[in-house]
Amino acid sequence: MMKKALVVEGGAMRGIFASGVLDSFLQHEYNPFDFVMGVSAGASNLVGYLANQPERSFNVITELATSRQFFNPLRFMKGGDLVDVKWLIEESNRQYPIDEDKVFNHIPFFAVATNVGTGRADYYRITAENYTKALEATSALPIAYKHTPCFSGECYTDGGVADSIPVIEAYRRGARDITVILSHPLSYVMLPPKTTWLTRKLFARHPHIARSMLLRARNYNKSLDFIRHFPEDAVIRVIAPPENFAVKRLTMKKNMLVEGYEMGLNSGERHLSHRFITFKN
């Protein structure tokens, strides 16, 4: 039997789509996976899924992530955080507590963070002991979040910088039946930054992160190419937002978020009805 993995992309508020897909999985008690991997908002969405708490992620995104405590442009202009990642994690845990045994002691749960010292992706298993720091690390948006989460002797920034869609890592870990939930429509291709000098200037203190930012589009599109042309011994199933998915990274309009969530629910239903998309070599 092929080892099965679930990979969930991040994308900040775009994660509302994945929250809908995962809630549709919960409605059908669908969890055939041997391990799961998430990046940033994708990892946060997986908490609600593994905890078997429908609408937890929906509530976190639409109620907490749209609040001024989390997203505050005025605070950012005064030198603070544009997004307060630590507050969001702690408030989510306070308002929507999880059953730690369900989340951490059943199937392995991995998250991706970008190592500040190397600029490369680190893939770590989330446990009850590192849970809060690990989620902060994978979600620590560069520039927008001023803090640098550190644990286990390393410091990190957002996992999407080095590996937004860890499908190749899932394959490397032995998965041969991989379900990928994306945050962009299938037509999306990431373009390289136009102002490379600005990227180098913004991350002058962390040259390895600057390099990863400059290579991010190449690495992202490499993951998409792997999905489209996966090895012969594997199958990759893709669940992606429709072309009219309008949610952006920092969309705060609740009606748009609700619409994006419903798109996720519908896409999850189609997937479970075996009308999913599988790229073929």
Phi, psi of 36 (to 5 degrees): -130, 150
Structural tokens at position 166: 């860890």
Residue 108's CB is within 10 A of a number of other CB atoms, namely 15
pLDDT in the model for residue 280 = 47
Catalytic residue among 158, 163, 164, 183: 158
Structural tokens at position 146: 């001023």
Catalytic, 139? Answer: no
Q: Which long-range contacts does 259-262 make (Cβ < 8 Å, 24+ apart)?
A: 260/14, 260/16, 260/17, 260/20, 261/16, 261/17, 261/19, 261/20, 261/23, 261/58, 261/62, 262/20
pLDDT in the model for residue 278 = 52
At 148-192, the pLDDT tens digits run: 999 888 999 999 999 999 999 999 999 999 999 999 999 999 988
Catalytic residue among 19, 23, 24, 40: 40
Q: How far does CA 15 lie from the centroid of its chain?
A: 7
Q: Which amino acid is at 124?
A: Y
Entry pTM? 0.93
pLDDT in the model for residue 120 = 95
At 228-242, the pLDDT tens digits run: 999 999 999 999 999
Catalytic, 40? Answer: yes
Domains of the chain: 4-277 (3.40.1090.10)
CA distance 275 to 30: 16
User: In 3D, which of 268, 240, 219 has the Cα closest to residue 120?
Assistant: 219
Instruction: Give the up-direction half-sphere exposure of residue 84: CA atoms within 13 A in the CB hemisphere.
Output: 19
Q: Which residues of the chain have pLDDT under 70?
A: 1, 275-281
What sign results for the dihedral spanned by CA atoms 78, 81, 83, 84?
A: negative
Distant-in-sequence, close-in-space partners of 105: CB < 8 Å, separation ≥ 6: none
Angle at 273 between CA 22 and CA 164, to 5 degrees: 40
Q: How far does CA 68 lie from the centroid of its chain?
A: 22
Spatial contact of 248 and 13, defined as CB atoms under 8 Å apart: yes
Extended beta strands in 182-255, E state? 235-239
CA distance 144 to 13: 14
pLDDT in the model for residue 276 = 47
